[in-house]
Amino acid sequence: MASTFVAGVGMVRFGRFGPEVSFEKLAAGAARAAMKDAGAERKHVQAVYLGHVFGGPVAGQRVAAELGLDGLPVSNHENYCASGATALREAWMAIRAGVYDVVLVIGAEKMTDRIKGGVAPDPSDLDAMQGFVMVAGHALSAQRYMADHGATREQIAMVAVKNHAHSVHNPYAHYQREIGLEEVLAARPVADPLGVLDCSPISDGAAAAVVCSPAGLRRLGIAGSRPEVRGIGLVSGTLRTGLYDLNEEDISRRAGQQAFELAGVEPQDIDLVEMHDCFTIAEIVRMEGLGLIPRGEGAAWTASGRTSVGGTLPVNPSGGLLSRGHPVGATGMAQVCEVYWQLTGQAGARQVEGARLALAYCKGGTVSGTDGGSVTTVVVST
């Protein structure tokens, strides 16, 4: 199967935009930046893959028309928070199969037009209809983690402190300011023990990448090396009955195993991680679930600086969802952009020195009675 390389990436800054900034404008802005970075023109692009959740019917076709790419094969991918990463997976598989040589992958979301407060639960989600919404589930995860491993509320809050510190150096981040531990602890409570600064914000934004086969790189006139997408894992949650370990993260373990096996690497080979930190505790338990941090040690690693830039295993040098923002369909591709910049030495003051192998992880949605919706993990290397 053909290798798949990232030829160029592009983003628009995440944030909250008024009605004058449309979904199509956000997506097209990121796509044009990626095409420019890759040196790609319309004649080069053979297909468009768009990940989104709230973009509406045929969103990809609307974006393609905005870009002057109408007439090409266009596909739309909805997999909740993993939508952008899932779009990349489908493009990766098409290139590996020899169907295309140059593909444009976009993740985009305009959330603030549709969500003015909390996200209304889907009537089919029986847990959420009874009040077990996402923040409640993660609050329970935090309580269980502290009880099981002796972690403190302060250690969990340090995830937010760390990721906001990283975001200061990311010009695409929704928030670009440091916050102190006391500020996190004193923030408005949402679900005990989590406060508002333990939660990712509702954001608008888009990110994109041009991915290619070796033949595609030649078509673009790229002679040098580019980061390679070596493995992507995609799994869904499994039915759980009776008593079970809330923080076992079997879904993360299985997705990680797929990606690691496809890439031919081990967890200990990873130099940096872009992690789906929708809530502070999520970063900790998912890192452990992937086998990147020993079980029960994630909170202590964070508090000691081991997951900061300059530490043992930097996590979310971009600022993560907590401060870069979380326009759900765009998040997976934003992670790929950060990985690309890190592996090509373009991350500026947040650069992870010597980075050669990186992992991006997205987990999307919940299904009643299961341990999660869908998870996509992406391993990219130089």
**Beta partners for residue 378, in sequence order:** 232, 360
Of 208, 153, 211, nearest to 184 by C-alpha is 153
Dihedral sign of CA atoms 96, 343, 175, 276 in order: positive
Specify whether 149 is catalytic: no
Dihedral sign of CA atoms 142, 146, 151, 154 in order: positive
Question: Which of 44, 52, 81, 362 is an active site residue?
Answer: 81
How many residues are there in the chain?
Answer: 382
Helix axes 280-289, 250-263, angle to 10 degrees: 50
Q: Where are the beta strands (DSSP E) in the chain?
A: 5-11, 47-51, 74-77, 102-110, 189-191, 194-195, 204-212, 228-236, 272-274, 357-364, 374-381
* Dist CA 279 CA 298 (whole Å): 14
Question: Which of 52, 138, 164, 326 is an active site residue?
Answer: 326
Specify whether 326 is catalytic: yes
Structure tokens at 163: 């990721």
Active site residues: 81, 326
